Amino acid sequence: MEYKYRRYFLYYLAKTTAFLIYLLPRALSLPLGSYIGRAAYWSLPRYRRLTLENLTVALGKDKTPAELRAIAEGVFRNLGRNAVELLNFPKIRRHAIGRLVTIEGLDKLNAALALGKGVVLVTGHFGNWELLALTIRLKGYRGAVIGRRIYFEKYDTFLNCLRRVHDVDVIYRDDSPKKILRVLKDNGIIGILADQDVDSVGGVFVTFFGTRAYTPSAPVLLARASGAALIPGFIIRQNGRHRLVITDPVELVDTGDKENDLVTNTQRWSDVVESYIRRYPEQWVWMHRRWKTRPPGEKKDRILQKVS
């Protein structure tokens, strides 16, 4: 009962804070979001440690401890900015999206859609991923994003109201796959965040930052089942604005060995995700336990034991 009351208290506190932030112009709310992120970095030691441990696994050979700490703080700052931008989604107008987001590679998206079988747009918890979906929608493209259901209904409703203010549709991970395939059959775009270790969904082990990582296989399976193109896309925060990059479609191999092909093709799009995270490490959500699931019989090293 105490936990229930605490959830309601935090919810209404968040709603009040969201309203106050919404009243601020973007020039003031973004620095505030950065400050909130920095405060979270210092006030949430568990997530700070997890972020630094993950960064050590991935980049420890190339970065000094001081550099890793600076990246870790940048991660929290980026999330703070993401939050205030999300709260301000209702202010964004279709005709003005170009002043906030520049787009590269729309020709690749259009070429894939011209084939008539839809697109699986795979991305990660990178940059402001919610703004990526909104931008694609405001540019007139149809489709939906696959999202995780938040099991406190008020939080879930609040988040989806912000998403749907510009008609960004959400299909939950636990909904019927037929909903997803129907979007692709109608030549729409399915956006999927597939960069986390989620043991409740199907996946395979691929190499991610030099370490085997359990990775969702859904992007490849959906592309195979529908004939849709599998295209990675990323939104990058730069100089107070954003750059949305649509990359080349992933060329899927088909040797007839379904199991090995699934691993090979998952590795291919995962390599693209990794390449962007390496370039902009402060824009990825490192506090997720990315390497918690291990292949059968594999012994965990000391760092991975902490991470898992």
Domain boundaries, the chain: 2-307
Give 142-152 pLDDT, tens digit per residue.
999 998 887 77
Across residues 153-174, what is the average pLDDT?
86
- What is the DSSP-derived secondary structure letter of residue 281? G
Residue with tokens 């859904």: 218
Could you give the residue ranges of the DSSP H alpha helices within the chain?
A: 2-22, 26-43, 45-59, 65-87, 97-100, 106-113, 129-138, 153-164, 177-185, 218-226, 258-279, 302-307
Q: In the predicted model, is pLDDT for residue 20 greater than 90?
A: no
* pLDDT-derived band at 306, boundaries 50, 70, 90: very low
Q: In the predicted model, is pLDDT for residue 303 greater than 70?
A: no
The candidate with the shortest Cα–Cα distance to 227, out of 119, 123, 121, 107, is: 119
Q: Which residues, 6+ apart, have CB-to-CB distance to 138 below 8 Å? A: 92, 94, 97, 166
Find out whether 302 and 48 touch, Cβ atoms under 8 Å: no
Give 196-241 pLDDT, tens digit per residue.
998 878 999 999 999 999 999 999 999 999 999 999 999 999 988 9
**Element of type H or E holding 120:** strand 119-123
Q: Output the pLDDT for position 308.
A: 46
Across residues 175-196, what is the average pLDDT?
95
Three-class secondary structure of residue 275 per DSSP: helix
What pTM was computed for the model?
0.92
